[in-house]
Structure 1
Amino acid sequence: MMIQTQRYDVATTFGVNARPGLEVQGFADDTHPQIPVRKPYVFRPELLRDVLAYLHDAGGDGMFLTGPTGAGKTSLINQVAARLNWPVQSVTCHGRMEIGALVGQFVLINGSTQFVHGPLSVAARDGHLLILNESDLMDPSELAGLNDILEGQPLVIAENGGEVIKPHPQFRVFATGNSAGSGDGSGLYQGVLRQNLAFMDRFRVIHVGYPDAVIEKQVVLSAVPSMPETIVEKMLHVAEEVRRLFLGSDREAGELTVTMSTRTLVRWASLSLTFKGAPNVFHYALEQALTARAEPEQREAIHRIAADVFGDYWEATP
């Protein structure tokens, strides 16, 4: 199936500083149901550059995005795709997932058994993006089944009478994970598995960390525009302290086992407005956003940090 392509100006499409006339290829049709929903988003130029370069020319590679939880790995790909009208097949991996679930399987439809193509087959056939979320939770022996198609080899579906799918020129594979394929040495991400070296060798790898304070402030304000900037800045300060205690140092483990991701930060701000007018609203919202799942001592420590940072604002109404 051929889809009409379209050129997009990078600066105006993504709201970043870019060389005048710099364009990227996307698609003209914005009606496909698999195009992600476009949301307000602040793109980090260095990450956007790497993703657009990969979309322009995959060169037989996949792209692996690694980084801490809630840093924006999947949302980065989805929001790029949303602006380029690029359909996405997204899968959340787990330890029991088999390659057959990605390729397709026979299902009972209206009393008859029919083969239904899976997200990998559809993406390869139609030129969509395939996103393997939490890919390092999946059995490495199963993921190794993607090696050939990552290099541009046809996908042969023996179960469907030997059907052969030649990868579409616009087919791309993204994988995300909290590790970079070498397992989790921190013990914080349960279920993460060391991945097959031959599989990882087929990926470009980029690290998606938490945004710097300037960009993260824009992210929060774009998501919760009615929140006063003064309060957002204090929330950012709390997040910075929590992350510092979570990450620890090169020599010592972190003192916290939970962290405040960008996603959690936005949730805290949003809940603070949702419960506006309630007593101790920032404390209450922070508990729902993060600390209710922390150990009691850690919960107390995080709230003490927040109270110190907020000062008189801690018991005020936003």
Structure 2
Amino acid sequence: MHESVPHRGEPIPVTTTRPYYVPVGNEEQVFTAAYRQGLSIVLKGPTGCGKTRFVEAMAHDLGRPLVTVSCHDDLTTADLVGRFLLRGGETEWVDGPLTRAVREGAICYLDEVVEARQDTTVVLHPLADHRRQLPIERLGVTLDAAPGFGLVMSYNPGYQSVLKDLKDSTRQRMIAIEFGFPTPDIEEKIVANEAGIAPDRAAELVRLGQAIRRLETGGLREVASTRVLIAAGRLIAEGLDTRDAARAAIAGPLTDDSTVTRGLMEMIEVYLADQQAGE
């Protein structure tokens, strides 16, 4: 067996249609300025508030391909950088998603980065600062990031435990953009557009979501995100009764606590009363 030249894979495509995203502040201007200066970016905000869609829209606007990695406890450095694989009797190097982005000048988005092991995220440091380099120890080479490369991370600081947080050495290499849920008028437009439902029906779902976010209870794993409101809207678009859609897409995913579930069901009856599908 012999080692072949590094394998890069097929080129990463650039999205031709802009994903639907409605800005809630100056996040687009901050992202663009940081990207053009070669600065790495961290997006901080609750689950389902639009961080991933924002990155997709920005990659489109900047004309760059996007590589997305969903981080988890078992993510290794090799998963990001690459590894040798046996193919047809030969040992061949296969780039990981981070290496492909570095080579091709793509934007690499690490979703929920604190879920990855800290020994894995350390490999990001030379990329996240002025060096913009990726050492690949298995190959004995250091790659300079191609023009256009951008490093973006996200996490939910209100959800992860204190044992899962970004190292200070990582934080200080990043430009931070804070995200929250959109204002009701903007969220109504998003839900109506994404779910394909009437504006008044979207407004009802948003009012329910706003009410759930005001609850003070330990039984909710997460508050009602824009994502779950859209999911409920999509069920409504398929002809499901409004309240049944909300029970399935909002109440069900948010909690397993029977007492909290009953409370959410009561809220659904109040906020979505008499809203039948097809009205």
TM-score for both structures, normalised by structure 2: 0.86
Shift of 1:172: 0.9
Q: Residue 198 of structure 1 is aligned with which of 154, 162, 169?
A: 169
1:308 match: 270
Q: Go from structure 1 to structure 2 and tell me whether the alpha carbon gap of 1:158 and 1:303 turns closer, same or farther (over 3 Å shift).
A: same
Q: Residue 106 of structure 2 is aligned with which of 98, 106, 128?
A: 128
1:117 match: 95
Q: Residue 297 of structure 1 is aligned with which of 259, 266, 274?
A: 259
Give the paired residue count. Answer: 266
Q: Go from structure 1 to structure 2 and tell me whether the alpha carbon gap of 1:191 and 1:282 turns closer, same or farther (over 3 Å shift).
A: farther
Please list every run of at least 4 consecutive aligned residues from structure 1 whose deviation after the TM superposition is greater than 6 angstroms. Answer: none
| Alignment gaps of 5+ in structure 1 | 1-31
CA distance in 1, matches of 2:221, 2:152: 28
2:186 match: 215
Alignment of 1:132-143 (within 5 A): 132-143=110-121
Conservation of the 8 A alpha-carbon contact between 1:291 and 1:302: yes
Task: Provide the secondary structure at the position in 2 that maps to 1:94.
Answer: coil
Conservation of the 8 A alpha-carbon contact between 1:220 and 1:232: yes
Q: Which residue identity does 2:201 align to in structure 1?
A: I
Shift of 1:255: 6.1
| Alignment gaps of 5+ in structure 2 | 1-10
Shift of 1:71: 0.5
Conservation of the 8 A alpha-carbon contact between 1:41 and 1:222: no
2:53 match: 75
1:235 aligns with 2:205: yes
Q: Residue 224 of structure 1 is aligned with which of 162, 170, 195?
A: 195
1:265 aligns with 2:243: no
Q: Go from structure 1 to structure 2 and tell me whether the alpha carbon gap of 1:231 and 1:178 turns closer, same or farther (over 3 Å shift).
A: same
1:288 aligns with 2:248: yes
TM-score for both structures, normalised by structure 1: 0.77
CA distance in 2, matches of 1:101, 1:309: 46
- Report 1 or 2 for greater relative contact order, CA contacts < 8 Å, sequence distance ≥ 6: 2
Moved more, 91-100 or 63-72: 91-100
CA distance in 2, matches of 1:259, 1:209: 12
Q: Go from structure 1 to structure 2 and tell me whether the alpha carbon gap of 1:258 and 1:157 turns closer, same or farther (over 3 Å shift).
A: closer
Shift of 1:191: 9.7
2:3 match: none
Could you tell me the percent identity over the aligned residues?
A: 23
Conservation of the 8 A alpha-carbon contact between 1:144 and 1:196: no
Task: Provide the secondary structure at the position in 1 that maps to 2:34.
Answer: helix
Conservation of the 8 A alpha-carbon contact between 2:41 and 2:151: yes
Task: Provide the secondary structure at the position in 2 that maps to 1:123.
Answer: helix
CA distance in 1, matches of 2:163, 2:78: 21
Shift of 1:202: 0.7
Alignment of 1:59-208 (within 5 A): 61-153=39-131, 154-160=133-139, 162-179=140-157, 188-189=159-160, 193-208=164-179
Task: Provide the secondary structure at the position in 2 that maps to 1:159.
Answer: coil
CA distance in 2, matches of 1:264, 1:38: 22
Per-residue deviation, residues 52-97 of structure 1 (Å, max 9, x unmatched): 1112213xx3111011110011110012212333101111111121
